[in-house]
Amino acid sequence: MKIIVGLGNPDGKYKNTYHNVGFSVVDFFAKQKHMKFSTKKCKAEIAVADDFVLAKPQTYMNLSGDSVAELKKYYKAKLEDILIVLDDIDQPKGRVRFRLSGSAGTHNGLRDIVAKVGSTPRLRVGIGRDASMDLRDYVLSVIDEPSQEILAQSREHACDLIEKFISGELCQDITI
């Protein structure tokens, strides 16, 4: 069973922010697959298919590892079968990067997952960085219209890579 975990913050006020790009990607993928997040389990909203689970942790970003640890245990998943989808300020806006493993970098949600579960495959969606803003303020800011268009294309690329991850076709690092 593959587990696709989109990272974000559960409170509605964060819905259209850069830090919720992971939620946005898994929501879009669920819509493509005609799936609904109808169950709460393992501190996450989940949608279940025959061969994969989509999850959106409800623990807030910096405690995402709590939910991922419970999902891993509940579904008896191997680390290589868990894909974390997240925003990345260190990638240019619109770039999508898949890696089989690695460090958490500057992302606190991924840092918590690596500390509590270990290194898993990850799909980073670049959100860029506004040097004129405090980092926290930037990632929690609402995505402006031009950026929404760029990120919509990224979301489609990310969903294609998720499909390949689920089918087992994705076995090397890729940057789009």
CA-to-CA separations, 156 to 24, 25, 81, 119, 167, in angstroms, rounded: 11, 8, 21, 25, 17
DSSP label at residue 35: -
Residue 64 banded pLDDT, cuts 50, 70, 90? very high
CATH (domain of 124): 3.40.50.1470
157 is catalytic: no
Instruction: Kindly report, residue by residue over 3-55, the tens digit of the pLDDT.
Output: 999 999 998 899 999 999 999 999 999 999 999 998 899 999 999 999 999 99
- Catalytic one of 19, 34, 107, 157: 19
Amino acid at 69: A
Handedness of CA 163, 169, 171, 176 (dihedral sign): negative
Q: What is the pTM of this model?
A: 0.95
Per the structure, the complete domain to which residue 54 belongs is given by: 2-175
Instruction: Kindly report, residue by residue over 97-126, the tens digit of the pLDDT.
Output: 999 988 877 788 999 999 999 999 999 999
Residue 130 is predicted with a pLDDT of: 84
| Tally of domains within the chain | 1
Strands 82-88 and 2-6: parallel
Residue 136 is predicted with a pLDDT of: 87
